[in-house]
Each structure stands twice: as C-alpha cells, then as structure tokens.
Amino acid sequence: MSSTRDLGALGLLRSAGPQDLEALVELARSTFRAAFAPMCSAAAMEKHLAATFSSEQLASELSDPAVHTLLAGAEGAWTAYATLRVHQDFDPSVRRPRSATSATAATDDDVWQLQRIYLRASAQGSGVADALLAESLRRCGRHQARSLWLAVWEHNHRALSFYRRWGFCQVGDQPYMLGDEEQRDLVLARDMSGVQLRPLAPGDHAAVHAGLIEVYRAFDAVGAGYGTGEADMQNLPSWYRKPGWSYLVAEQAGALLGGGGLAPLGAAQLATCELRKLWLHAHARGLGVGRSLVEAIMERARQLGYRRMYLETVPRMEAANQLYQRLGFERLQEPLAGGGHCKCDHYYLRTLT
C-alpha cells in the first residue's frame, strides 16, 4: 500500500521521515504555540516547547518504529500533522471511572495512542484533520488494535466536539504539565474492535467512488438518472462537507465496507433530507452493517435539524427495500420534488421526530 494518500485540493498525506525534521519542528512548535499561548505564561510555553518539540526529541520520534508521524498539505508547505504511538497503554496518571469500557480494558499490545493532531489556522475547517484521523484509524485497524486513546485539554471545546463526532468517548482524565503549570486533560478512547462508523474524510474518495460503482453496477443502476450519475461523484468529500450534508462510512481493519449520506432535498421540501448513495460490499451484507449505517445517518439528520428523510431506489435492490421498510420508511406513490433520480421508481419517506 502506498504511503502517500492524495487529498485533492488539500494536497497529500504521507508518513514523515528524517528528511522532514526541520519542517516538522517548525510546524509542531508554531501550531502548539498558536493553540495554547493565550492559556499560559510565556515562560511556561517556552519551557514546554524546548522539552517536547526540540530537534532531538522529534528526531528520536521519527526514527522510532513505534511512532507514526503523518504530514498533510503541500510538499514543503505542510499545514497539519499527527503523531500516533503503537502499543501505548494509558498513562498511569489517568483517573478512570470504575466501570471500564471495552476500550479501557484492552491489553497494552492492543492499545494505541493518538498523541497529537495539530493544524495551522489556515487549515481549520478544511477537512485535513478528518484525513489525519481517518489515516490513524486505518493504521490501527490494519494492525488489529482494539482501542485508540488520546488526551485533550478540558477547555479545548472544538477538539472535544471533533473527536466525539468520530466516536470517541471520555474514559477518564489526567494532569498535564505545561511548563511548570498543571493543566487538566480529558482522556477519550474509541473501541476499535468490529465494524466502525465514521465520517467521510478527504482521501476516502477513490475507495467510496469505486465501491458505489461496483455495487450499483451489479444492480444495473449506473449513469444518468441514478445516484452514480450526479455531480457529487466527482469529489464526494468536498460535497458532503457542505452545510446540511453528511456522509458516513463503515470500516473494519482499515478497509471500507460501505457508506451512505444525506443532503437537503431542496427548497420545496424544507426540513426534509434525502438518503443518498447508500452502498455495501457484498461480503458485508447480512451482518447488520447496512442497518447500523442507515440508523446512524438518520441520527445525524436529526442532529442537523431535519424532520423527515426521503429516498429513491429501484425494486431490484430487494434487500435495501426490505431494510427501509423495517426501519419505518413508508412507500410513496409519487416522488417528492427535488429528488431528481428519473430512473428510480420506488420512493420512501420517514418522519425523524
């Protein structure tokens, strides 16, 4: 598998090597300073940067096979990075709740740590953090990690919201020294066993596009008049980052099993979204993955404020039709305005409230 992933307009994502040391030191120090300088004294900041992001420390990490450092952006003009530690159990200082989850009960060899994800201000909201986290999850999956954990400053509400959107849950907290000043981090973890649902990320386009074409071709549903003939097929991650749009993928051991999304149906159907581009590889069917995907997409629709979900399909997708009916979708005799799949003749609608 190539160590470089194309992120389209965001550049590329690849593993860092010794040749990247100078650029990594500058990126790590500048992004950490931008994130936390207002929250501590200048002396505490300089002491932390010298200890944590020195050339010697980062060179040691780059040469350590148990540390994966990822760079994202344009070659020579990196905008973000991530550090992933292999077989890194929870810090002994972590205060865990009495009822440990499966994520906290894994053995040392099963547990990985996402130590850092930092972005330049210009990359905030671009999707590059999603790409770095998706690649981190892929690597955990390929190595059969059972749990991935991380620590986030308790007042970094944007980061906490981001990780929770990706399925991380709080499992404890720990002290964190910033220079001589003690801070409090929340410890989040994600169970990596089994099938995982996560947001679509830059870098997923090729696999999702290929999966959609493969699955829809088997049902003779490729081209104009079907979902595979729409403009969003040209750049799925970009389209599904638009306001009111969302797309989830199902992943296991670093491989995508399927996916599905939602988008506004149109101005004529306020508060109604459309279930779009649902697909599942043949070997993943009959395991409950499709149902989990649709239920998660419906929940995401509720979070976005939609009150109804609409979809269009074809009768030859028999299992999909049966799933929609089991999930409470009601068959309509006529399509709603805004659907636009002229070759689909089965229409469903479900109330989400």
Domains of the chain, with CATH numbers? Answer: 4-191 (3.40.630.30), 196-351 (3.40.630.30)
In the prediction, which pLDDT does 68 show? 96
Give residue 90's pLDDT band: very low, low, confident or very high (50, 70, 90): low
Mean predicted confidence (pLDDT) in 106-133: 88
Question: What does pLDDT average to over the chain?
Answer: 90
Assess contact for 345 and 300: CB atoms under 8 A. Answer: no
Q: Which two tokens stand for residue 63?
A: 């040469």
Distance of CA 168 to the CA centre of its chain: 11
Whole-structure pTM value: 0.79
User: Does the pLDDT at position 69 exceed 90?
Assistant: yes
Give residue 151's pLDDT band: very low, low, confident or very high (50, 70, 90): very high
Mean predicted confidence (pLDDT) in 278-299: 95
Burial label for 155, CB within 10 Å (0-12, 13-18, 19+), is exposed
Give residue 331's pLDDT band: very low, low, confident or very high (50, 70, 90): very high
